[in-house]
A and B are shown apart, each in its own frame.
Chain A
């Protein structure tokens, strides 16, 4: 039987651009350039490698996001994923992590899955909790933050480099995996891949397709509320000296003046 892999990918504002908040204190996704979160490219890469090593596998990329999020799906398809699902609905505007995990879990169930692969964190929200939430909702093992992963005979194994130790993990499929940026460089889409991606199927689902009520998601359904968002005041310009032989000593003098020495 075919191994069904669903990769969750997020469309995020470009970190090197000018990210900011919209008037309703949600992340502004309209006035900034977006892209497939770089950290989800690693998830796509591992999915493709696992699929390549399996007898028969299918890689579906899934995103929850606005119209433009299709760009993220196209990028993943051009890397080599087989098909894509876009969950798009005006009522999703302002959905938090708890709501996002609901939509993802419902969509993953509807798509059918043996293995879900996510990134370690989204580059805008940086929560790093959606994969754990999706695992909790699906009721399947969570095998997260792997810097090495492999799947064989219905078992997923991997290495999780934690704070205090590096752990070797193992679980039976179906499971939810997330991979770190240490898991291996993501491939660049080839010209052929880019051309082929144009013909690959992209399904669009809205909330009613997933039996989700509008009140369960979006700003209204959110479990958290941002009350204030302020731009951090620019740091006051510091002292910059050119080393003319005494740079180290000058720096020591500064550190002493600040009582660090």
Chain B
């Protein structure tokens, strides 16, 4: 069976969930061979094997943390040349897309970004994308070279599928360009203890209607009652009420959870672009004409300062 390269997104050896989802998709088109780079790379093997990786190619070097993107492209290209895979799958983070694009160019292949599904096809993998703020769904193929496809989080279920996961050291020689962009400082994002926005099963968001940074505690309380991640509209972020890392939408994160609860958010096209593929959508807004209500499975026309705390209390009561 053909091999499929899967680029591993991990933090010091802890594999992030979107990579495990990629393994599920990779198994539809071949045998997953994972590529893990940087500090802790070898530590990813157990989790990857558990989810279907037949092989895990690893390489650790300081370059991955010290220089932007290019060292990772060099390594992925080395893996590509070693394996001659039928496809290359990369998680659709900002960095993942850049790595994938440069690899595609180098190996003379086409690239599809932000796929939400992949199926095997007679002429190679077929990728589903959601475009124009999710108002259209397209199916595309790479028609030249080896398909390079980046896949959004929450595009497939994580499935246990134990495989060998044999660790092999990848040999990488860095290109002259690898050290072009130096990373001179890094401030890790502080953990809030809440689920990762793009990976969460439930997202609770607040917009301009929340009316102040201090009031976001109402949104956070609801999120915590559900074990959810917290999101924000750009209006709330621009006002300085919530960090940009939590922004949902075209220029923020794109989320596709089981449940999305929009509070005090009007539902502008750029916001919809980041949440319209959520399975169930709920909104609380005091304006019955707000466009967000066109999307909802359930909507409450009312003041969020009344509705949200009552909802939180009720959830706590029901959960006992």
Contact = CB atoms under 8 A, between A and B. Distances in A.
A62 B214 CA distance: 44
Closest A-B pairs by Cβ, 3 of them: A243-B302, A248-B310, A223-B110
Interface of B: 11, 68-70, 73, 93-95, 97-98, 100-102, 104-106, 109-114, 126, 130-145, 177, 180-189, 202, 226, 244-245, 250-251, 258-259, 269-270, 273, 276, 280-282, 284, 288, 293-303, 306-315, 318-319
Contact of B303 (A98, A166, A231, A243): A243
Given A180-B251, A252-B314, A260-B259, A168 B184 contact: yes
Interface string A228-261: 1111100100111111011111111011101011
A238 B283 CA distance: 11
B191 to A, nearest CB: 10
Given A163-B94, A247-B302, 14 more contacts: A19-B135, A121-B251, A124-B132, A137-B105, A162-B95, A169-B184, A223-B142, A230-B137, A235-B297, A243-B306, A243-B307, A247-B307, A248-B309, A258-B297
Contact of A249 (B144, B226, B310): B310
Contacts, number: 257
Interface string A211-233: 00000000000111111111110
A255 to B, nearest CB: 7
A136 B106 contact: yes
Most buried by B among A120, A132, A170, A254: A132
Contact of B301 (A166, A224, A230, A242): A242
B201 to A, nearest CB: 9
A182 interface: yes
Given A165-B187, A231-B135, A126 B114 contact: yes
A8 interface: no
Contacts of B281: 235, 238
Given A97-B111, A235-B294, A238-B297, A248 B137 contact: no
Nearest to B270: A15
A171 B181 contact: yes
Contacts of A245: 306
B180 A142 contact: yes
B184 A261 contact: no
Contacts of A126: 114, 131, 250, 273
Contact of B98 (A101, A123, A142, A261): A142
A245 B294 CA distance: 23
B154 to A, nearest CB: 15
Contacts of B187: 165-167
B94 A261 contact: no
A252 B318 contact: yes
Interface residues of A, number: 82
Interface of A: 15-16, 19-21, 25, 39, 96-98, 101, 120-121, 123-124, 126-129, 132-133, 135-137, 139-145, 147, 157, 160-172, 175, 180-182, 222-232, 235, 238-243, 245-252, 254-256, 258, 260-261
A101 B251 contact: no
B183 A168 contact: yes
B139 A227 contact: yes
A238 B298 CA distance: 5
A166 B184 CA distance: 11
Contact of B139 (A21, A226, A231): A226
Nearest to A250: B300
Contact of A224 (B111, B298, B309): B111
A118 B232 CA distance: 26
